[in-house]
């Protein structure tokens, strides 16, 4: 086609916090289309903390990105050419297109963009992060009305949805975030209490916010913040372990006092999960999330960065908690 | 009655490993009997690692023993006098009699000793440790045939029962114990594989014993041993956290690398429990355990120490893993 495909590739495996030098902006030909595939022009990239794990060679639930390869990730793209009857040019689809302007993908890896909301929401509240909140909260943490639900990274892409879903369930919601996002927690996402997780007296703030203990802890961060919440768990509490973003940039594991006694003292269930294990139930989750968005019961906030070349810098900021809402890179206009 | 009641009291809160000086052998009058109570002559004491927690003032699921008070614990006693119609002199009962020769207790706190086996078994395989294994394995860990089940402190009072119950469920069983108890694991308790948890290449031994990973980990010890097992957990594994004996004698929490990533990578459920939460189902558990003992499908091993005054030293040894089987103190002959 003669068009240049700009791509962000992994130039080096980050040690500790990633730097822009760990990424390279390269130009390549637009990929060749095979049978059963579509060619898409990327519109929106989803930037998510789990992608830090892909940049490392450590064992995980998915293969790492190889050096020199494009950074993997979900994106929204517009189909430009199709060699499958299931899709036609002009359609907007979500798929594993990665950090590049043009991508090919097999029809089976695509999901239609929801028509009822802006296409970018299919990467967020009507996509992976909304589904992560939905299944992590309802299937793993299983809140009941009257429960106190604590959420870490509560203003993040997943946390903002978790708080609203917990509130819809009749729970008392307590959100942890950095100081600049506390107003978003209470004003936008409806948290009953917002706590600056960096404050010195975090234990006292948690005690005041959860006088009867926390029945559910939806954990996106791990580390010392989670240690503090662990000490406030109520008998029979459930901890849904969604992410451990406080740990992702550590070159060596952090040393911390062993503290798992709370599991026995409070008979706690702590459970990790991956949203992809619920793939067979995505239609259920997306249907409900979409209805709640349409009814105005579920809101969301996007933090949009313009231009593929900005993705590395935005991703570095994401791991520092600099984003305000779901972080997206707008690669091309409609 | 003019009889002396010898008792072991808490002389000082242990710092680190308890010493004999933390305990006192004192003489007191035989307690006065109230309405609705029985007076018992203690026969057998159950010594259990959880009692270390009672000697500390830290928050836990039960109140600590106060300084100068008798050490609490389950025991088998013979009723000598009764002021309740529910019990008569001569009966053997299990109750919270503590480390003393004579005790009073309310009728509601007593449980009849099983008639089908020696009375001491009501403190073990037909008592609290058998029930701990039963509910911890079947209700918390929920093994399926074909699962690989790893048990720490596998030759201990709980672990020896867990291994046998897991084998009855059709599981492949892997027991961790110190070098001197490995033969007990395979010869007496039927473990498929016995591993010395102190061996340097514990990770390699676990890998060889669990080529497809561990589906269940029944944890009695915590600490570095559990870290090693965590790295071998299969996707969807369940960790039943029964005890953390490696930590009970630490004056300060041990520093260790944070490693909870395995919860997400392998979608692990880790759950602490207390057998007392299953009190309403003790008849179910005891009925089955008794049948299996009678049928010869469930065996057990007791480590008996003679004389109340030996209890402190035996307890100190228990926390070091020096016992071989369920540790009991024989306080008086029939």
A38: closest CA of chain B, how far (Å): 31
pTM: 0.96
Please give the Cα distance from A217 to A28 (Å, whole number).
Answer: 45
Q: Which of A235, A261, A265, A273 to mutate to test the interface with B (most CBs of B within 10 A)?
A: A261
CB pairs under 8 A between A and B: 103
Question: Do B77 and B330 meet the contact criterion of CB atoms below 8 Å apart?
Answer: no
Structure tokens at A44: 């929106």
Closest-CA residue to B190 (of B158, B163, B217): B163
Helix axes A159-168, A128-135, angle to 10 degrees: 40
Give me the residue label for tokens 């010395």: B196
pLDDT band of residue A61 (cuts 50, 70, 90) is: confident
Please give the Cα distance from B98 to B332 (Å, whole number).
Answer: 14
Query: CA-nearest residue of chain B to A245?
Result: B261
Instruction: Compute the mean pLDDT over every residue in chain B, rounded to the nearest whole number.
Output: 96
Q: What is the mean pLDDT of residues A97-105?
A: 97
Check A271 against B261: CB less than 8 A apart.
no
B277: closest CA of chain A, how far (Å): 9
Reply yes or no on whether the pLDDT at A259 is more than 70.
yes
- pLDDT tens digit string along B38-67? 999 999 999 999 999 999 988 788 889 999
Question: Do A241 and A272 meet the contact criterion of CB atoms below 8 Å apart?
Answer: yes
User: At CB < 8 Å, which residues of chain A contact B?
Assistant: 59-61, 222-223, 241-244, 247, 252-274, 277
pLDDT band of residue B333 (cuts 50, 70, 90) is: confident
DSSP H helices, chain A, are 51-54, 128-135, 159-168, 182-183, 202-209, 223-230, 261-265, 282-294, 311-319
pLDDT recorded at residue A115: 78
- pLDDT tens digit string along A40-52? 999 999 999 999 9
pLDDT recorded at residue A62: 86
Bridge-based pairing state of the strands B23-29 and B4-10: antiparallel
- pLDDT tens digit string along B298-319? 999 999 999 999 999 999 999 9
Spell out where chain B has E strands: 4-10, 23-29, 37-46, 75-82, 92-95, 102-106, 111-112, 148-151, 172-177, 193-196, 214-219, 233-241, 255-257, 269-272, 302-306, 326-330
**SS3 annotation, B50-73:** CHHHHCCCCCCCCCCCCCCCECCC
* Phi-psi sector, A238: left (phi>0), alpha (psi -120 to 50), beta: beta
Question: Do A5 and A31 meet the contact criterion of CB atoms below 8 Å apart?
Answer: yes
Percent of chain A with pLDDT over 90: 94
Please tell me the number of Cα atoms within 13 Å of A9 on its side-chain side: 13
pLDDT recorded at residue A158: 98
Please give the Cα distance from A239 to A269 (Å, whole number).
Answer: 6
Q: A284 Cβ partners below 8 Å, 6+ apart?
A: none
- pLDDT tens digit string along A139-179? 999 999 999 999 999 999 999 999 999 999 999 999 999 99
More reliable by pLDDT, B57 or A190: A190
Give me the residue label for tokens 């030293």: B313
Q: What is the mean pLDDT of residues A3-28?
A: 97
Q: What is the mean pLDDT of residues A90-96?
A: 97
Give me the residue label for tokens 């020896």: B160
pLDDT recorded at residue B24: 98
Q: Which of B226, B272, B277 to mutate to test the interface with A (most CBs of A within 10 A)?
A: B272
Reply yes or no on whether the pLDDT at A323 is more than 70.
yes
B299: closest CA of chain A, how far (Å): 27
Residue B140, helix vs strand vs coil: helix
Check A260 against B244: CB less than 8 A apart.
yes
Instruction: Give me the domains of chain A, ranges plus CATH numbers.
Output: 4-123+301-330 (3.90.180.10), 128-276 (3.40.50.720)
pLDDT recorded at residue A59: 79
Structure tokens at B180: 């001197």
Q: What is the mean pLDDT of residues B280-285?
A: 97
């Amino acid at each position: 086609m003669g068009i240049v495909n700009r791509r962000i590739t992994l130039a080096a495996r980050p040690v500790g916090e990633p730097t822009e030098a760990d990424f390279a902006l390269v130009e390549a030909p637009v990929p060749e289309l095979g049978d059963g595939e579509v060619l898409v022009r990327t519109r929106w990239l989803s930037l998510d903390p789990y992608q830090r794990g892909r940049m490392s060679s450590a064992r995980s639930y998915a293969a790492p990105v190889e050096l020199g390869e494009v950074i993997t990730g979900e994106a929204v793209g517009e189909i430009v050419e199709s060699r499958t009857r299931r899709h036609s040019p002009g359609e907007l689809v979500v798929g594993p297109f990665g950090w590049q302007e043009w991508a090919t993908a097999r029809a089976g890896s695509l999901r239609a963009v929801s028509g009822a909301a802006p296409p970018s929401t299919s990467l967020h509240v009507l996509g992976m992060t909304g589904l992560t909140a939905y299944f992590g909260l309802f299937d793993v943490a299983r809140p009941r009305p009257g429960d106190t639900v604590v959420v870490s990274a509560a203003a993040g892409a997943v946390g903002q949805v978790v708080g609203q879903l917990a509130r819809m369930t009749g729970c008392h919601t307590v959100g942890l975030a950095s100081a600049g996002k506390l107003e978003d927690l209470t004003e936008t996402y409806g948290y009953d209490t917002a706590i600056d997780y960096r404050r010195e007296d975090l234990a006292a703030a948690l005690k005041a916010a959860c006088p009867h203990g926390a029945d559910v802890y939806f954990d996106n961060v791990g580390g010392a913040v989670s240690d503090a919440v662990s000490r406030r768990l109520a008998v029979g509490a459930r901890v849904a372990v969604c992410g451990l973003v406080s740990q992702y940039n550590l070159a060596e594991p952090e040393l911390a006092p062993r503290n798992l006694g709370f599991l026995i003292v409070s008979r706690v269930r702590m459970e990790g999960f991956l949203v992809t294990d619920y793939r067979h139930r995505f239609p259920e989750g997306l249907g409900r999330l979409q209805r709640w968005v349409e009814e105005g019961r579920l809101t969301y906030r996007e933090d949009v960065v313009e231009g593929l070349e900005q993705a590395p810098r935005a991703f570095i900021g994401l791991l520092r908690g600099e984003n305000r809402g779901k972080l997206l890179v707008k690669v091309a206009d409609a």
